[in-house]
Amino acid sequence: MLTSLNDYLLPTVRYDDPTADPDKSYQSVGGRIYIELVYFRHEDVQYNQLTPIERSYLDAWKLRNHPFVRFDGHILSYRAIQDVWWIILTPYKVPIPNGTIWELDVGGGRTRTMPREISNEVTLNVARNLPPNSF
């Protein structure tokens, strides 16, 4: 799925300082700290729709110099940050191998589905301006 060191993993919520580790402001009601990122291919980002400040923000979240993950062209590795859970979302179709089994039970016979919302303005602008045939 990941194709280039120039691709992006952008936060879904406001994240002003990419050099700072996620803190309790990203804590869920269950007590875990989550960082949600959205994957965008470099060629799908419409730079002409972004301000210079937004472009600068984007550069900080490029896979080439991402603060939390490393991508060597084949393997995505997460930086170890105590008690932080990673969620990576994508607007693209992801091929699922035949025979894949989904485990939907999260305990007690309950299933969990959570709507996702992008409140980070730069990430939202990138998502809104994806080319219609990009996914």
Q: For 74-100, how does the pLDDT look when each residue is reduced to its tens digit (9 = 90+)? A: 788 888 787 888 888 888 887 777 877
Question: What span, in angstroms and rounded, lies between the C-alpha atoms of 35 and 79?
Answer: 12
100 in a structural domain? yes
1 in a structural domain? no
Query: pTM, whole model, 2 decimals?
Result: 0.80
* Nearest-5° Cα angle at 39, 43 to 16: 105
Residue 135 has pLDDT above 70, yes or no: no
| Domains of the chain: total | 1
Residue 38 CB neighbours (<10 A): 22
54 in a structural domain? yes
pLDDT of residue 113: 60
43 in a structural domain? yes
Q: Which residues contact 126 (CB under 8 A, 6 or more apart)?
A: 8, 10, 40, 45, 46, 50, 58
103 in a structural domain? yes
Residue 61 has pLDDT above 90, yes or no: yes
The number of CA neighbours under 13 Å toward the Cβ of 67 is 18
CA-CA distances (angstroms) from residue 128 to 40, 63, 132?
12, 21, 10
Classify each residue of 63-81 as buried b or exposed e, where b means 16 or more C-beta atoms within 10 Å of its C-beta.
Answer: beebebbebeeeebeeeee
The percent of residues above 70 in pLDDT, for the chain, comes to 87
Question: What span, in angstroms and rounded, lies between the C-alpha atoms of 56 and 43?
Answer: 17
3 in a structural domain? no
Q: What is the mean pLDDT of the chain?
A: 83
Parent domain of 52: 8-128
pLDDT of residue 86: 84
pLDDT of residue 114: 65
